[in-house]
Amino acid sequence: MSDSPAIPSNFIHQIIREDLKNNKNDGRVHTRFPPEPNGYLHIGHAKSICLNFSTANEFKGLCNLRFDDTNPEKEDMEYVDSIRESIRWLGFDWEDRQYYASDYFDKLYEFAGELIKQGKAYVCSLNQDQAREYRGTLTKPGKNSPDRDRSVDENLDLFNRMKDGEFDDGDYTLRAKIDMASPNMNMRDPVIYRIRRAEHHQTGNKWCIYPMYDYTHCISDALEDITHSLCTLEFEDHRPLYDWVLDQLESLPHPRQIEFARLNINYTVMSKRKLKQLVDEGLVDGWDDPRMPTLDGMRRRGYTPVSIRNFCEMVGVTKANSVVDVGMLEHSLRDDLDKTSPRAMCVLNPLKVVIENYPEDKIDVLTLPKHPKDESMGNREIPFRREVWIDRADFEEVPPPGFKRLVTGGEVRLRGSYVIKCEEVIKDNNGEIMELRATYDAATLGARPEGRKVKGVIHWVSVQDALDVEVRLYDRLFNCENPDAAEGDYRDYINPDSLVVKTGCKAEPTMADAAHEERFQFEREGYFCVDRKNSAPDKPVFNLTVTLRDTWAKKSN
Ligand code: ATP
Ligand code: MG
């Protein structure tokens, strides 16, 4: 089990403990989180963020934030900003250690020159199609490029001229000279520089050549004195290249790359390319749509940072890829929200009840606790009057067996208030129920009714005092477990009921003071939060964060 209550021990921590025992890196632990600023962060990234920052924390080390920005065409400052905000929101702090791989473009260029001088890199003139042909296949070794034995001087000259913009995009590449027969395709003389005339969000038009990810990443790690470079399993086959580059550059330290399994979750997609497509095609309301698995979307939905961090802890760190049930994420969310959310009442499908024996000008100001178990949250005051809203679903003329709420001639307790009895149902010409007429038992405020049992308790809001609010009921964005693997296109599986907008919902008047992102449990309905984007004092908007119980478990049974 765990050495520390903060994070359960995992295989990476065991490796680090071993390294510390052997006095590697002078006992330092230094990690980094290296996002590419080509999209917003998603819940998968949260796993990597939690792992990198918590590992540093566990071993009293440091964790850097480094933007891996070697693909200028796909990257943007908008993404840089959102990534910074999401990491902070999750509760982690890189202090003054924010870097860009592009900070190292000059050094990367120099190191490439060093590789050329060692005879370990060469300028290659094969075009893309030729290069593919020369690369061979998994079963067939590759062929040496005709340029492989170019002289050092010629390579240096050509590389310099690549940088100076003398050639067109794609005319030349710089390649590492490793082994065209290697069973590992990544080692077959990988390209380490390409010519690409693209403006960069950090370096502008200074460069027309850009280093490739594999070459950049290991050197960036080394330049930042990273000790343990934690990455996902798909980089396992890249580790020999990571090590090869650093083995050639003896002046640099040699961080240790360790791979762990990506987080996958069902009922969603997690590739940035697909998330971007959903945004670009208007299938969702932006990267922060509350149905998106992005951290910005989850934040807007009402997820708490604690619930996400706890979830990442629960998932653990392993070497085996697997798919985690989204129910586990929602469980972690409910767990936190139950403890931290004040209670409130909001009627989503209002039905008016007129309590005929309650005087028209009378008002009871009831004091209800904000939380049933946490007194420190204090109380709220709720007005009770002759007319109240209840939810349509809480009244049945012909009740199904076991129905414990209001029926014609039956009694129910209004939460924190009186017991009422339904005396009459008023309908319109079409037979639709318009309102109920009821009576109340004045002796039942905070007391049991005399001589009878009333089992049901329902929520309500005083008609005169109610705040009109919009409620957005969110559900899973996809209605199939693995939209990526399902037949056809993943977009075919978008859940058409993933957003239901309800206007004219009736909230208790205390909700008028609710601030953006404030979270509540609307009793008997679920957890809701004030939409940080669209909610305004004259038009409050609440997002359904999660229902009180897992309704999907029921559906699929
Ligand atoms: P995507 O495939 O979603 O586009 P990516 O790997 O290209 O993601 P990066 O910005 O390069 O995105 O990721 C930054 C860091 O987060 C990397 O170290 C990457 O390994 C890690 N990461 C990305 N997705 C996941 C995931 N699903 N689970 C765990 N870690 C992840
Ligand atoms: Mg990546």
Q: Is the CB of 44 under 6 A from ligand 1?
A: yes
Q: Ligand 1 in contact with 47 (CB < 6 A)?
A: yes
Give me the numbers of helices (H) and strands (E) for the chain, helices first please.
13, 29
**Spacing, Cα 233 to ligand 2 middle (Å):** 12
Catalytic residue among 272, 301, 370, 506: 272
Q: Which ligand is nearest to the CA of 41?
A: 1
The strand pair at 419-427 and 411-414 is best described as antiparallel
Tens of pLDDT along 128-178? 999 999 999 999 999 999 999 999 999 999 999 999 999 999 999 999 999
Q: What is the pLDDT of residue 1?
A: 37
Backbone angles phi, psi at 47, to 5 degrees: -60, -45
For 372-392, what is the mean pLDDT?
98
Nearest ligand by distance to the CA of 35: 1
Q: What is the pLDDT of residue 413?
A: 98
Whether 36 is catalytic is: yes
Digit-coded pLDDT (tens) for 295-336? 999 999 999 999 999 999 999 999 998 899 999 999 999 999
Asked if residue 34 has its Cβ within 6 Å of ligand 1, the reply is yes
CATH 3.30.70.890 fits 272-340+469-556, yes or no: no
> Is the CB of 217 inside a 6 Å radius of any atom of ligand 1?
no
- Region 49-78 average pLDDT: 97
Q: For residues 451 and 463, give the distance between their C-alpha atoms in angstroms, rounded to a whole number.
A: 30
194-227, pLDDT tens digit by residue? 999 999 999 999 999 999 999 999 999 999 999 9
pLDDT at 5 over 90: no
Q: How confident is residue 552, by pLDDT bands cut at 50, 70 and 90?
A: confident
Q: Is residue 4 over pLDDT 50?
A: no
CA end-to-end distance (rounded Å), the chain: 34
pLDDT at 555: 56
Distance 235 CA to ligand 2 centre (A): 10
Q: In ligand 1, which atom is closest to the CA atom of 230?
A: 18
Query: What string of DSSP letters covers 456-489?
Result: -EE--EETTTPEEEEEEEE--SBSSS-TTTSSS-
User: What is the number of the ligand closest to the CA of 258?
Assistant: 1
| Pocket lining: 142 vs ligand 1, CB cutoff 6 Å | no
Is 297 touching ligand 1 by the criterion CB < 6 Å?
Answer: no
**Looking at the predicted structure, is the pLDDT value of residue 447 above 80?**
yes
Q: 351 — phi, psi (to 5°)?
A: -135, 125
Pocket test for ligand 1, best of 40, 42, 45, 92 (most atoms within 8 A of CB): 45
- Taking CA atoms only, the protein residue closest to ligand 1 atom 4 is 272
Would you state the pLDDT for residue 486? 93
Mutate to test the pocket of ligand 1, among 10, 63, 90, 232 (most ligand atoms within 8 A of CB): 232
Ligand 1 nearest-atom number relative to CA 262: 28
The minimum-distance atom of ligand 1 relative to the CA of 49 is 16
| Mean per-residue pLDDT over the chain, rounded | 96
| Catalytic residue flag (residue 150) | no
Full DSSP string of 287-345 = TT-TTSSBHHHHHHHT--HHHHHHHHHHH---SS-EEE-HHHHHHHHHHHHHHHPPEE-
Instruction: Tell me the mean pLDDT in the region 76-104.
Output: 98
The pLDDT assigned to 554 comes to 55
Ligand 1 pocket, 263 CB below 6 A? Answer: yes
- Residue range 346-465 forms a domain whose CATH class is mainly beta
Q: Stretch 8-28: mean pLDDT, rounded?
A: 93
CA nearest ligand 1 atom 22, residue: 45
- For ligand 1, atom 13, the nearest C-alpha belongs to 35
Dump pLDDT digits (tens) for 479-537: 999 999 999 999 999 999 999 999 999 999 999 999 999 999 999 999 999 999 999 99
Inter-residue contact 333 to 545 (CB < 8 Å): yes
Q: Which atom of ligand 1 is nearest to the CA of 263?
A: 28
Asked if residue 292 has pLDDT above 80, the reply is: yes
Tell me where in the chain the CATH 2.40.240.10 domain(s) lie.
Answer: 272-340+469-556, 346-465
| Both tokens assigned to 230 | 């934690």
Q: Is the pLDDT of residue 6 over 60?
A: no
Q: Which of 17, 28, 36, 196 is catalytic?
A: 36
42 Cα to the center of ligand 1, angstroms: 9
CA of 471 from ligand 2 middle (Å) equals 37
65 Cβ below 6 A of ligand 1? no
Q: Catalytic annotation on 262?
A: yes
Ligand 1 contacts CB of residue 231 (under 6 A): yes
* Closest atom of ligand 1 to CA, residue 41: 10
Per 3-state DSSP, what percentage of the chain is helix, strand, and coil (rounded to 5)? 30, 25, 40
Does ligand 1 come within 6 angstroms of the Cβ of 35?
yes
Q: What is the pLDDT of residues 417-439, one digit of tens each?
A: 999 999 999 999 999 999 999 99
Give 1 Cα–ligand 2 centroid separation in angstroms: 32
Do 291 and 477 contact (CB within 8 A), yes or no? yes
* pLDDT score at 8: 57
CA dist 398 and 189 (Å) reads: 77
**Percentage of the chain exceeding pLDDT 90:** 96
Q: Domain spanning 11-260 has what CATH number?
A: 3.40.50.620
Ligand 1 pocket, residue 321 CB under 6 Å: no
